[in-house]
Amino acid sequence: MRITAQAERDGKFWVVTVPEVKGAFTQARRLNEVEEMARSVVADLLEIDGSSIEVVLEVELSPAEQAIVAEAQGKLATAEEASKVAAEANQRAVSQLRGDGYTTREVAAILGISAGRVNQIETKGKKKGSERRLVSH
């Protein structure tokens, strides 16, 4: 059985309702307790084993809270994409410089990273290359 636990902060407690089950409401002191509390109250009301209940948690936030969370998530997604792009650029730089005959230590000094990191990037690039070759055959 799948239920939705809707949690809303009220003072120091989380008020929890389960719309799918009439009369299913409870409270929890901490957000990480909400799922178990919802599972327990539904199991008691329906007289079923709680381990068969899957809980989907919905946290209700004010519009201001929703906006700040959305902003934070958007910035995190942007940062993750920038990190991916930077890693790809580092991979290309290491590959190019090593291909041009620079030593691992020279590449490390040029890129401002450790020689160990250069080796990691180079090894990862070789693995990717071998995976591409396997896929293309």
CATH number for 113: 1.10.10
Same domain for 50 and 110: no
User: Is the pLDDT score of 131 beyond 60?
Assistant: no
* Pair 13, 28: CB distance under 8 Å: yes
Q: Which of 63, 67, 43 is nearest to 53 (CA)?
A: 43
Same domain for 132 and 90: yes
> How much is the mean pLDDT over the chain?
92
Cα–Cα dist 38/26, whole Å: 7
Domain with 44, as residue range(s), is: 2-60
Q: What per-residue confidence (pLDDT) applies to 126?
A: 75
User: Is the pLDDT score of 109 beyond 60?
Assistant: yes
Same domain for 78 and 49: no
Instruction: Among 37, 60, 83, identify where a domain stops.
Output: 60
Same domain for 118 and 77: yes
Q: What per-residue confidence (pLDDT) applies to 137?
A: 40
Mean pLDDT in residue range 22-47 = 96
Instruction: Among 29, 45, 60, identify where a domain stops.
Output: 60
User: Is the pLDDT score of 108 beyond 80?
Assistant: yes
User: Is the pLDDT score of 66 beyond 80?
Assistant: yes
